[in-house]
Amino acid sequence: MDLKELYQEIILEHGKNPKNLGKFENFNKDAKGNNPLCGDKVHIYLKTDENKKISDIKFEGEGCAITMASTSIMTELMKEKSETEVKELIDDFLNMIKENSELKSKNINEDDKIKLMSLSGVKKYPMRVKCATLPWHTLISAMSNKPGEVNTEKEE
């Protein structure tokens, strides 16, 4: 039963056909994330406009269905969001995955909430939580344009 919760249709769909896969020319921020235990890798590219709004976001990467789906869903959600909104969403998502709480953000609609909640199945699979959180940590790093790579084994 838990497996069905983990591999919900939304996840399989995004995992197989991830949105925003690729790279674009005029990005102004980017960051790489790596989960060395699994070999999952993501490279996130951002374009932020003068108001610090994300005007475009894409990613390159390879990994398990969870990593790919999480990155795909995240990139869809972040388009046209302001810096503060992005930060709030990241916090909200990471809290939901790690601390078992609901999503609190008022900046997302019901559809998006359902998509994000579909990733909460990883809670029952502690070894897989990192797969879901990798792109989110990588996005934090891209936003702050920190040099170096996000490494799931160096966190916390």
Partner 1 sequence: MNINNIKKQFPIFNNKVHNNDLVYLDSANSSQKPQMVVDRIYDFYTKEFSNVGRSVHYLAVAATNLYENTRIMMQKYINAKDPNEIVFTKGATEAINLVANTFGQKFLREGDEILLTELEHHSNYVPWHYLRKLKGVKINFAEINNDGEITIESIEKSITPKTKMIAITHLSNVTGAILPIKEITSLAHSKNIPILIDGCQGAPHLKLDMQDIDCDFYAISCHKMYGPTGLGVLYAKKKWLDTLPPYQGGGGMIREVKKEGISFGDLPNKYEAGTMATAQVIAFGESIKFLNQIGIENIEKHESELTKYGEEVLRKNNSVKLVGNPKNKGSVLSFTLDGIHAHDIATILDEDGVAIRAGHHCCQILHDKLGLSATARASLGVYNTKDDLDKLNESINKCKKIFDR
Closest distance of CB 61 from partner 1, Å: 10
Is residue 2 a contact residue for partner 1 (CB under 8 A)? yes
By CB under 8 A, tell whether 56 contacts partner 1.
no
Q: Tell which one of 30, 40, 56, 92 touches partner 1 (CB under 8 A).
A: 40
Q: Give the residue, chosen from 31, 114, 128, 148, that forms a contact with partner 1 under the rule CB under 8 A.
A: 128
Regarding 21 and contact with partner 1 (CB under 8 A), the answer is no
Binder among 10, 21, 64, 94 for partner 1 (CB under 8 A): 64
CB of 131 to partner 1, least distance (A): 7
Helix (H, G, I), strand (E, B) or coil at 106: coil
Residue 66 and residue 13: Cα distance in Å, rounded? 11
Residue 85 vs residues 77, 79, 114, 129: alpha-carbon distances, Å: 11, 11, 18, 23
User: Which one of residues 46, 54, 57, 65 is an interface residue with partner 1 (CB under 8 A)?
Assistant: 65
* Residue 3 interacts with partner 1 (CB under 8 A): yes or no: yes
Cα-to-chain-centroid distance, residue 10: 15
SS3 146: coil
Round to whole Å and give the CA distance between 19 and 82. 20
